[in-house]
């Protein structure tokens, strides 16, 4: 089943030969500011790049009505007109191998204050082994790796001997509805790879994630009567403190969850955005803040959501202003379960062999406390999905960067995986 | 010196006779959404209303360069192109009495969430004795009282026997630069009245006010690494808590300040606005919040500012993230001293007589923990300035309202004050 040493070396050499072009492609992708709601121009670029390569192309805007019934659906508060998924399909003459999805997400998170960046975030640049730019690590380098792994095989005269899908999806950073929409459009395969920036390792399990917005609203007054009104901004902080308590309680449960008991702090709560009030001299009448919290695989988002609501109600009851003005809680994004990639699958065995050839070192796995679209494949597609990708630093931060030597090896692994998993046929 | 009972009653009756028209005028003023930076349309309305009445009109945009040297100047972070002051001057044939400024501010504070209002804030409406609307109490009813007090005298065939200035200024809710600009344009008088909504009382003393913005900025990361970044929103709360400590320390000093020792809580700190972060799943890199704090009369803004900076530095040193990323503090508005209206002035005596006639009850004074433009007249113009105005509720809040019966009596007081202070001449 495994590849010959000669073919292995030929493939890795061809990946290396194409790597400068792959970096240029990654940089080109990185120049598109594919923030939420404006991913479509990057998707159009990718669509054309795949079409030129001979993929059969599919491009569509997510239709909420087509996915909202699904248990993996996350609530949406934005317009999806420009939430475009792109899938390219490469078919063999004869389907002799096992089919594969190569998936990546095109959406990137906001940059934060530009002055905190050493260089403009949407003008990728290299410095030694690092390629810098917003979304370059998370995860345009991965999308490029998917494309160039197949390209390397093509330059050697080969095509996968089973159907291969290149998926570029949106909404991975906020709902996971992009990958879900692709699944519900009918895309299925015998395995999937998502080259997220996960430090040259395989994700064994990850957390689910919930997003929610909490809004405090009450009666404001002139600050001269500060005692008679209640400050919504400071009331919000009582709730944030309460959510930190909930986080601690959930972390204490880690011993009940396989793979997570070894993590120091598997459940991360984050308050990521806040806005409140409108005038320094008015006691603020409102404050709202956006939160993210993780949940263990197997825990249902709806139950976790109820626990959050109950906890915030409890906190509110002890604070007179909040008791009179109970906070409003809206689940406005991720409503997603975590997953566990069961050990011992053939797909994982194949990936481990490919990794060993590419890295000359055994593949390690780890448990991630972050959301990953892998859950769509594993939980709802019953597909072994291997989230496996390059070394990075500061994703979601300033000066986000990806290690190019790592990307090259990851690309080699993916190319070898395709060769063994799908098999090869001559073009 | 005091007015005859007959003239007193004639004046009060004439104020009452014109009161329906005065309410309509107040409502018309209230329909202008004269928020900061967009006061000019209301000012144009007022300009025309005064011009029609025969005032000599002056209308100008505040020029920061003309006032920035003055110790009463507050820092400005906005464009003043539409920060228009309006002053109407009414001169007697012969200057036999004492001159007077009737001052009011046209700017209003933001409405906050519209759904918290029982009715649209810029569509004033009456319900019993209350007139509702944003800025109707604070202080368009006062501006109308100034105008209609003179109108009542005019209908009786009288004009003040000394120069009278109707001033409508901007920037009272944020810097006090509007009243300052009027002073520095040369407007001086023997006394001034500002009918702010102060519950039918005279302001004996008030606090100074400082505005400042605190910005926390640091290195964010993906929430999966929440431990390695520091949450700017939560760091901001440490600073807010620190400022509450400073507030307590300043309140403890009240015994050193005449008039303030009797107040329960003379120094109010307020965090009135907050914004931070941009993504629920990114540890926020920045957070900034807008504050207001009071200071006692006699305390210099620059010294208080230094104390705030020192205190925040101290708080920051105990928090590793803030120690590495010290908060930035910008004084971005009020940089204003408080004032004391010395007891026993002739102007106050005149006002007390007028009040007694209008209310059939002695005038009371009180100490206000709020900023007032009176400080410009008292401290920098050496002019007895009487902040004295109607009963209100919920200024800076929702459903702001002013008592119409109170406004009528205040207008009567002002008309009687003019008659005695300026004297009257027949038109």
- Is residue B271 domain-shared with residue B370, that is, in the same domain? no
Q: Locate the DSSP E strands across B170-254.
A: 192-194, 202-206, 208-217
pLDDT digits (tens, 9 = 90+) for A14-62: 999 999 999 999 999 999 999 999 999 999 999 999 999 999 999 999 9
Nearest of A151, A47, A142 to residue A104 by alpha carbon: A142
**H or E, element range at B275:** strand B269-276
- Is residue A328 domain-shared with residue A382, that is, in the same domain? no
> Average pLDDT over chain B, rounded to whole?
95
Question: pLDDT-based confidence at A349, cuts 50/70/90?
Answer: very high
Looking at the partner chain, which of B231, B282, B396 has a beta carbon nearest the beta carbon of A396?
A: B282
CB B334 within 8 A of CB B175: yes
Query: What are the C-alpha distances in Å from B35 to residues A34, B64, B294, B406?
Result: 36, 19, 23, 25
Residue B221 near chain A (CB below 8 Å)? yes
Q: What CATH number has the domain bearing residue A305?
A: 3.30.70.360
Strands B84-90 and B164-169, sheet pairing: antiparallel
Looking at the partner chain, which of A110, A269, A285 has a beta carbon nearest the beta carbon of B113?
A: A285
B271/A234 Cβ within 8 A:
yes
pLDDT digits (tens, 9 = 90+) for B107-127: 999 999 999 999 999 999 999
pLDDT surpassing 90 at residue A219:
no
Q: What CATH number has the domain bearing residue B377?
A: 3.40.630.10
Residue A251 near chain B (CB below 8 Å)? no
A173/B397 Cβ within 8 A:
no
For residue B295, the model assigns a pLDDT of 96
- Is residue A189 domain-shared with residue A215, that is, in the same domain? no
- Is residue B25 domain-shared with residue B144, that is, in the same domain? yes
3-state SS class at B83: coil
Q: How many domains does chain B have?
A: 2
For residue A223, the model assigns a pLDDT of 63
pLDDT surpassing 80 at residue B149:
yes
**Domain of A281?**
208-336
- Is residue B320 domain-shared with residue B381, that is, in the same domain? no
Angle, vertex CA A176, rays to CA A269 and CA A406, nearest 5: 85
Residue A268 near chain B (CB below 8 Å)? yes
| Closest chain B residue by Cα to residue A109 | B279
pLDDT digits (tens, 9 = 90+) for A50-102: 999 999 999 999 999 999 999 999 999 999 999 999 999 999 999 999 999 99
Nearest-angstrom CA–CA distance, A131 and A142: 13
Looking at the partner chain, which of A268, A279, A370 has a beta carbon nearest the beta carbon of B110?
A: A279
Interface test with B, best of A118, A174, A224 (most B CBs within 10 A): A224
Contacts of residue B255, Cβ cutoff 8 Å, sequence gap at least 6: B261
- Is residue A225 domain-shared with residue A84, that is, in the same domain? no
For residue A320, the model assigns a pLDDT of 79
Nearest-angstrom CA–CA distance, B317 and B315: 6
B289/A233 Cβ within 8 A:
yes
**CB within 8 Å of chain A, chain B residues 116-145:** 116, 138
Chain A: closest CA distance from residue B398 (Å):
7
CA pseudo-torsion sign B168, B174, B177, B180:
positive
Residue A89 near chain B (CB below 8 Å)? no
- Is residue A64 domain-shared with residue A176, that is, in the same domain? yes
Nearest of A166, A137, A130 to residue A55 by alpha carbon: A166
pLDDT digits (tens, 9 = 90+) for B165-200: 999 999 999 999 999 999 999 999 999 999 999 999
CB A288 within 8 A of CB A215: yes
End-to-end C-alpha distance for chain A, whole angstroms = 21
Question: pLDDT-based confidence at B223, cuts 50/70/90?
Answer: low
Which of B336, B365, B390 is the last residue in one of the domains? B336
Residue B114 near chain A (CB below 8 Å)? no
3-state SS class at B222: strand
Nearest-angstrom CA–CA distance, B50 and B52: 5
**List of long-range contacts for B42-50, beta carbons under 8 Å, 24+ apart:** B42/B106, B43/B84, B43/B85, B43/B86, B43/B106, B43/B168, B43/B170, B44/B84, B46/B86, B46/B106, B46/B143, B46/B168, B47/B86, B47/B88, B49/B25, B49/B147, B50/B86, B50/B88, B50/B147, B50/B166
> Average pLDDT over chain A, rounded to whole?
95
For residue B71, the model assigns a pLDDT of 97
Which of B336, B358, B374 is the last residue in one of the domains? B336
For residue B279, the model assigns a pLDDT of 93
Nearest-angstrom CA–CA distance, B199 and A277: 26
pLDDT surpassing 90 at residue A372:
yes
Strands A365-368 and A201-206, sheet pairing: parallel
Query: What are the C-alpha distances in Å from A39 to residues A169, A175, B52, B113?
Result: 9, 15, 59, 32
pLDDT digits (tens, 9 = 90+) for B305-362: 999 999 999 999 988 788 888 999 999 999 999 999 999 999 999 999 999 999 999 9
For residue A1, the model assigns a pLDDT of 55
pLDDT surpassing 60 at residue A227:
no
Using the 8-state DSSP alphabet, how is residue A35 labeled?
Answer: B
- Which residue carries 């449960």 as its tokens? A253
pLDDT surpassing 60 at residue B82:
yes
- Is residue B200 domain-shared with residue B218, that is, in the same domain? no
ipTM given for this complex: 0.91
pLDDT digits (tens, 9 = 90+) for B15-73: 999 999 999 999 999 999 999 999 999 999 999 999 999 999 999 999 999 999 999 99
Residue A247 near chain B (CB below 8 Å)? no
pLDDT surpassing 60 at residue B140:
yes
CB B178 within 8 A of CB B172: yes
- Is residue A218 domain-shared with residue A299, that is, in the same domain? yes
- Is residue A73 domain-shared with residue A179, that is, in the same domain? yes
Residue A368 near chain B (CB below 8 Å)? yes
Nearest-angstrom CA–CA distance, A108 and A242: 30
Question: pLDDT-based confidence at A221, cuts 50/70/90?
Answer: low
A112/B278 Cβ within 8 A:
yes
Quick one: what percent of chain A has pLDDT higher than 70?
97
- Is residue A282 domain-shared with residue A215, that is, in the same domain? yes
**H or E, element range at A57:** strand A56-61
Question: pLDDT-based confidence at A225, cuts 50/70/90?
Answer: low
CB B151 within 8 A of CB B53: yes
- Which residue carries 């003393």 as its tokens? B205
pLDDT surpassing 70 at residue A416:
yes
Which of B275, B304, B336 is the last residue in one of the domains? B336
- Is residue B171 domain-shared with residue B239, that is, in the same domain? no
């Amino acid at each position: 089943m495994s590849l010959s040493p000669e073919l292995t070396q030929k493939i890795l050499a061809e990946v290396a030969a194409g790597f400068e072009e792959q970096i240029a492609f990654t940089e080109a992708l990185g120049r598109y500011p594919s923030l939420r709601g404006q991913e479509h121009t990057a998707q159009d670029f990718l669509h054309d790049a795949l079409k030129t390569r001979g993929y059969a192309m599919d491009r569509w805007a997510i239709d909420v009505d087509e996915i909202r019934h699904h248990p993996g659906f996350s609530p949406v508060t934005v317009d999806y007109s420009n939430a475009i998924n792109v899938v390219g399909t490469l078919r063999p003459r004869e389907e002799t191998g096992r089919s594969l999805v190569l998936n990546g997400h095109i959406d990137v998170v906001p940059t934060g204050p530009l002055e905190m960046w050493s260089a403009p975030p949407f003008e990728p640049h290299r410095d030694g082994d690092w390629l810098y730019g917003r979304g370059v690590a998370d995860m345009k380098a991965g999308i490029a790796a998917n494309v160039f792994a197949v390209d390397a095989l093509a330059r050697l005269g080969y095509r996968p001997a089973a159907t291969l899908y290149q998926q570029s999806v949106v909404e991975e950073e906020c709902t996971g509805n992009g990958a879900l929409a692709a699944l519900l459009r009918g895309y299925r395969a015998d395995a999937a790879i998502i080259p997220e920036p996960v430090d040259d390792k395989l994700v064994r399990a990850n957390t689910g994630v919930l997003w929610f917005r909490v809004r405090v609203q009450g009666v404001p007054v002139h600050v001269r009567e500060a005692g008679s009104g209640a400050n919504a901004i400071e009331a919000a902080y009582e709730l944030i403190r309460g959510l930190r308590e909930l986080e601690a309680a959930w972390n204490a449960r880690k011993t009940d969850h396989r793979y997570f008991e070894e993590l120091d702090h598997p459940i991360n709560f984050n308050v990521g955005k806040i806005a409140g009030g409108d005038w320094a001299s008015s006691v603020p009448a409102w404050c709202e803040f956006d939160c993210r919290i993780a949940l263990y695989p197997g825990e249902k988002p709806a139950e976790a959501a109820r626990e959050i609501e109950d906890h915030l109600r409890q906190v509110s009851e002890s604070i007179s202003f909040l008791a009179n003005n109970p906070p409003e809680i809206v689940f406005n994004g991720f409503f997603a379960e975590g997953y566990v990639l069961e050990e011992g699958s053939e797909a994982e065995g194949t990936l481990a062999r490919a990794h060993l050839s590419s890295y000359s070192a055994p593949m390690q796995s780890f448990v991630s406390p972050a959301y990953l679209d892998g859950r769509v494949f594993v939980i709802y597609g019953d597909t072994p999905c291997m989230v496996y990708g390059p070394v990075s630093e500061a994703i979601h931060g300033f000066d986000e960067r990806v290690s190019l030597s790592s990307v090259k090896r990851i690309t080699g692994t993916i190319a070898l995986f395709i060769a063994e998993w799908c098999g090869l046929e001559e073009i």
